[in-house]
Chain A
Amino acid sequence: MKVKELAEKFDLKVVAGHRGLDRDVKGGYSGDLLSEIMGNAGLGCVWLTVQGHQNIVAVAVLREMAAIVITGGGSPSPETIDKADSENIPLLTYKGSAFELAGRIFPEFP
């Protein structure tokens, strides 16, 4: 599944990194501790987090993630948007919780 298909199917708003919307999503990961994400998130995953600061983009680039979803109605900082655009990392937002979104997305990745 492409990031743009994921966004359409699960009501995710694309706020930055539009040039990366054709990336393949290979799985998902959820968490807010950056070291834990660095150590364990899978390549090509969509990352669900409440963190909206700019350092999430470097983590996504280094882990070669497909996209970041900021959950819980949070929004990224302007610096995060600039960085995601320059690195072509799709940055999406979701109004509900990470728990709820993870439950909805999970069946897509058996």
Chain B
Amino acid sequence: MRATLDRMQSRLNATPYLLRLGRLFSETVLLEVGGAEYYLTFRDGRLEQIAEGPSRKTPWRFALRTDGEALAQFWQPQPKPGFHDIFGLVKIGRGRIDGDILCLVKNLRFFKDFMALARPVAQMEKLA
């Protein structure tokens, strides 16, 4: 998972339209995958730091919790129904979103496109 996140970080920081969309986004997001915690700290749309948990001290604005198998399906070029979107994961009981949901919704296209960065390159701009 860490290697995938590192790759997503590189892609994000090299993707001008995402940096433009996220230029006002400076927050820490908790991504929890199968119980493993990853604290993603964004600054002005760039993913500045990926800190692995567990941590009880790191504040975060919102969290996406899911499992590795669901994320693997989410990252397929054409995911099955429910696995095609972060809210789909929630709908089918394979994900949970907590915290400041309004902050997420205000930056929803940016965050969803960031989460899709582990899909094959041709898919990068498909899901917003």
Asked if A and B are interacting partners, one says no
Q: What residues make up the interface of A, taking CB atoms closer than 8 Å to B?
A: none
